[in-house]
Structure formats: structure tokens, C-alpha cells
Amino acid sequence: MPTTPACRPPAVTTIRPALVGKLNERQVLRVLQARGPLSRAEVARQSGLSPPTVSKAVASLLRGGLLEEADAPEAARGRPAPKLRLATASAQVLGIAVDAGHCEVVAAGLDGRPHPDVTAVPTPPTYPTLLDALEAAARERMARSGVTTLGVGLSLPGLVDYRKGCGVLSPNVPMTNGHTPAKDLAARLGVPCVLLQELHALCLAERHYGLARGLDDFAVLDVGTGVGMAVMTGGRLLTGHSGLAGEIGHVTVIPDGGRLCGCGNRGCLETVASDKALAARAAEKLGRRVDVDEVIDLLKLGKVDLTAELAEACQYLAFGVAAVVNLFNPAALFVHSRLFEAVPGRFAEVVAEGGRRALPPSFADCRVVQGQGSQRLGAVAGVVQYLTDAVAPELS
């Protein structure tokens, strides 16, 4: 006799108690990441978990070194309850940003607040020497007495294949092509190391520690050595099939001729709209090689006239802004470029021109602002997210 819906046996849950406990730990971590130091009772109220459940989860996280207790400010009456916080005094993570000219290494607590000193090393010409330099800089930070290093985040420019954990095509740091720097560095340092494409790192920096807190749909446009884009949609990074999404800088904008791009093609957006492209134009005018830092200094001092070159770069950048707004309809678009340090009024011009080029309804619903994050802070955000995900996966 067939079983009717009314008399079917009760469904058997597939969620194991151990997994439930880990999910509770993740919830506690998320509350402290969003709210800062809290007492156990405050964590219970903010998370919706029962006090015994919170106590059990906290005990596990304390043992794992992800949390620590800090003395609460003295209360007017009675003994204040100790505050829980993400580990900052007893543990740290490292963020490494690899770029064409130099690499930066910073240490931070699990709250994402970086320590004030940043180690910068010139980018070596070969992959083995790059690993040597990064290892030396990381070990210097890991030698901090009484502090455990829980992991390293490494941001890399160019195309990154997340399935293989390797660099695929980096026009500006080609020695990383075909290599797995995070895996190789982890083997040397003995701690987990997470690889992030540099724009994805910027996206995480804005979401966790910058202007995009609380936003689930936004985009980042980075105009530096190249031009790249990252998109957060529904609270998740849009990475594509193998992690290669977002390379807007290699869209052809000058179909006939155009300057040679590091990717091998001509007329790419980043050959006319990037900081590096403007430095190349300045070098032609000055008759000598200059980098972006020197160009910015010369512009601030009024020692070089790049009016026409800036106008062209900003026009093409506006095309990029319009394309991102039209394609992804973000609530906000964060634009990163060092050139706006020297000529602040140019950013408003880019926004205005982007608005003229974009679809009016999409642009009206998008806030275009200058970004605050950095690749090294994004690398920190990436490894903190990795440690959080290692506690328990996020349920969709």
C-alpha cells in the first residue's frame, strides 16, 4: 500500500551535532567581526544563540586561538563581565601584496587592523628570488614574541586560476605565471597561505574594513599598474568558471593600432586609462623614464604639463565606469587610482562623464566614490575569511 504524504515517516536530518557546533562557532565569530568586543551575554543577544551554546562555542574558539578575552572597562557597580574579542594580542595574520615594482608585507590582528609598520621589498626578477624575498619578510613578522601567526593572505595581479591555485597570466609580474606562490610559501612557512587575485582582495578590503560594509552588491575598479575590476553580487565574489572574471582592462578600446599591452594585444583599456599608461606618456614628454610616484610629485609641483594626457586617460576611465555600471548594476562602485591624489578635480570629471555614458536608471541607482582599501588589507581580509570558513562553511 503506497505511503500517503500524511503518513510518511518523519524526515531524518542530515546535519550532524558536530557540524551544528561549528556553525554556532562561526556565528559567534561573525557577531564579533561585525560588532567588536562583547561579553558572552551580549554575544548571545546579538547572535540569537542560547547562553550555554555561546559559552561552548566561545570555549572552542578560545582553544583554537581565534578569540581572546580582554578586560572590560570598570563598571560603576560590581565586577564587569570580561569582553571577548578577535585575537589581536596573542595571534596575527600576514597580508602580502605582490606588484610590479615592489611587494608589501603587513601583519594584522584577526580584527583586520594592520600593525603600523609595512615592509616593502623590491619585486625580484625571478620566481625563486621572489619566494626568497617574501619568505624573509614574512619570517621577520612571524618572529614577534608571544604571538602565533595563523595564516597568510597573498594578493597577486593578473589572472589567477583558483582551481589550481596558480597565476595564469600576469602582464606586470610575469615570473609568477604557471606558479603557485601561496602553496609554495605555505610549504616554506608552515602556516596556511591563501591566494587572491588582487582585485578580489580589494573587494574584500572594502567590504570588511572599508566603505562597502553592509553592502552585498558593489564593484571595485582599480586603475593602477593595469585596470581591473571585481564584483560582489549577493554577498559573493563573482569569480567566473575558474577565477578569471573581471579583466576589464583587456577590453579593446582602440581597434586599429593602439599601444602594445602586456597581455600581447594592442589597444587595451589599460594602455590608455591606467596610472602606468600615464607614466609612460609622461616619460615620452620628459625624455626619460619615470614611475607613477614621480609623476604624481611632478604634477603636484606643477613641473610637468599633462593636461591633454590626463584628459584622455580620464575619458577612457569614464568609459570603464559606464561599462561596469551598465553590466553589473552595483549599488556602489569604488574607484582606486593614485592619480586623483595629484589632481582631485579629475575624479568628479570621471564620474560626470561616466554618468553621461551609462544608462540613466542604472547610474542613478549607483554611488560612485573613491575607494579606501588596499591590496595588502585585502590579503588580510582574505586570510581572515579563510580562517572563518575553516571553522564551518557558510550555508547558502
Q: Name the nearest CA neighbour of 160 among 178, 175, 172.
A: 178
**Based on the domain organization, do 173 and 123 belong to the same domain?**
yes
The domain boundary, picked from 61, 86, 111, lies at 86
For the chain, give the mean pLDDT.
87
Cα 183 to Cα 68: distance, rounded to the nearest angstrom: 29
Q: Same domain, yes or no, for 53 and 118?
A: no
What pLDDT shows up at residue 246?
A: 81
Indicate whether 7 belongs to any domain: no
What pLDDT, in 10s, does the model give residues 299-341? 888 888 888 888 888 899 999 999 999 999 999 999 988 878 7
302 and 278 within one domain? yes
Task: Determine how many CB atoms are found less than 10 A away from the CB of residue 11.
Answer: 6
Q: What is the mean pLDDT of residues 9-18?
A: 52
Q: Is the same domain home to 301 and 339?
A: yes
Report the CATH number at residue 51.
Answer: 1.10.10.10
Q: How far is Cα 52 from Cα 47, in angstroms, rounded to an integer?
A: 13
pLDDT at 11 over 70: no
Of 62, 32, 60, 61, nearest to 47 (Cα)?
Answer: 32
- Asked if residue 2 is part of any domain, the answer here is no
Determine, yes or no, domain membership for 8: no
Looking at the 3D structure of the chain, how many domains does it have? 3
Q: Is residue 3 one of the residues assigned to a domain?
A: no
- What DSSP assignment string belongs to 272-337? HHSHHHHHHHHHHHHTS---HHHHHHHHHHT-S--HHHHHHHHHHHHHHHHHHHHHH--SEEEEEE
Q: 222 and 198 in contact (C-beta within 8 Å)?
A: yes
Per-residue pLDDT for 131 more than 90?
yes
Residues 138, 33 share a domain: no
Asked if residue 6 belongs to a domain, the reply is no
Say if 4 falls within a structural domain. Answer: no
Cell digits of residue 202: 580589494
Domain assignment present for residue 126? The answer is yes
The neighbouring-strand residues paired with 119 are: 105
Both 29 and 133 in one domain: the answer is no
- Among candidate residues 44, 61, 86, the one where a domain is terminated: 86
From CA 264, how far away is CA 69, in angstroms rounded? 54
- Any domain includes 278: yes
What pLDDT is stored for residue 78 in this prediction?
59
Q: Are residues 278 and 144 in the same domain?
A: no
Tell me the mean pLDDT in the region 349-353: 93
Q: Residues 384, 366: one domain?
A: no
Average pLDDT over residues 222-230: 84
- Same-domain pairing of 243 and 342: yes
Domain that includes residue 325, residue range: 211-371
- Single residue among 86, 116, 131 that ends a domain in this structure: 86
pLDDT digit string (tens) for 14-50? 556 677 888 899 999 989 988 889 999 999 999 899 9
**For residue 356, what is the domain's CATH number?**
3.30.420.40
